[in-house]
Amino acid sequence: MMMLAALLVLIMLIAALAALLLRNAVAAVAAFAVVSLALSVLFVWLRAPDVALTEAAVGGGLSSLILALALRRLGLWRVGGSNE
Amino acid sequence: MRKAAALLFTLGLLFLLSVMFLRFELGQAPMRIGKDILAAAPEQVGAANIVTSVVLGYRGLDTLGEIAILFTAATATGLILSGLGGGQRRDPEGGFILRHGADLVFPFLMLVGMYIVVHGHLTPGGGFQGGVVLAAAFFLPLLARPSRAVSHSALGWIEGLAGASFIVIGLWALTLDQAFMTPWLHQGVLGELFSAGTLPLLYLALGLKVGAELASLLAHLAEVEASE
């Protein structure tokens, strides 16, 4: 079972590094969400489902949504509005 | 200078984490009050989810502080963002799949959010988590159709009434010769939906408050268009 935790921590480390190093800001936000989701699985493994639910909803969902909207506001993320 | 400060901070954090890693075994936190609460909570509060009986029962005042912090942060952000002249140029409508997918998923997201809020005293989850899901559910139609206006005053009313009822439920305990935020009402049978006294009501108020607050915040953020 320790292997699962090690794997999750590895995923988190890789995703965190990706969030730091990726040049594309939207991809960095997605990597940030991956860190939170892996952390929430880790919380389930540590038998803290309440905290896991909070981490998934707030860390994985809301924070990345707010970051993505902030990118939009800063003009770092353009939506191609050519279709329709 | 700034790099030195960053290095110092990183070293301190590393030291803290290594001490924690060496001293405590993973998943085996040393608890003193935890065992007492685990033993006493099912009979004292009557919530099947012990975490809820701590969050709203034993540490209800902390939760009130938490929602006060969230309220202040959301109000300040809304104040700043609404002053930036939002609503001039909006995103184009979402495509066919996004629009119809949002319509399809919206009721299910509402259901999941309300389930998490209402069953907070029985299963993992509660007002905060469910409220965030509700806010995300309300944001989805806005993502699909950005031109649709959001009624910030209605969200404000929901938020205000929910927050006020949270405090009133807490204050009402004073009339029963109990401390502020003590759960009252009949405890009921452990594990049933209508049990644990006022805890489900408190979580419902909390969920509506957090949901309305965050939905308003997200709508504000989405309304303000990039200044190019």
Predicted model pTM: 0.81
Residue B192 in domain: yes
What pLDDT is stored for residue A82 in this prediction?
A: 42
Closest partner CB to B136 (pick from A50, A62, A70): A62
A72 touches chain B (CB under 8 A): yes
Cβ–Cβ < 8 Å for B65, B207 = no
A3 touches chain B (CB under 8 A): no
- Reported as a pLDDT band with limits 50, 70 and 90, residue A79 is low
Residue B3 in domain: no
Whether B31 shows a pLDDT value over 80: the answer reads: no
- Chain B residues within an 8 Å CB radius of A5: 26
Whether B161 shows a pLDDT value over 60: the answer reads: yes
**Residue span of the structural domain in which B42 resides:** 31-227
Record: contact A50-B124, CB cut-off 8 A: yes
What pLDDT is stored for residue B84 in this prediction?
A: 66
Exposure letters B147-169 (e unless 16+ CB within 10 A, then b): eeebebeebeebbeebbebbeeb
Residue B5 in domain: no
Residue B194 in domain: yes
Cβ–Cβ < 8 Å for B215, B132 = no
pLDDT digits 0-9 by tens, B100-122: 999 999 999 999 999 998 888 88
Residue B26 in domain: no
Structural domain spans, chain A: 22-74
Residue B6 in domain: no
**Structural domain total, chain B:** 1
Cβ–Cβ < 8 Å for A40, A52 = yes
- Reported as a pLDDT band with limits 50, 70 and 90, residue A80 is low
What pLDDT is stored for residue A21 in this prediction?
A: 93
B-contacting residues in A 5-24 (Cβ below 8 Å)? 5
Record: contact A50-B226, CB cut-off 8 A: no
ipTM exceeds 0.85: no
What pLDDT is stored for residue A84 in this prediction?
A: 35
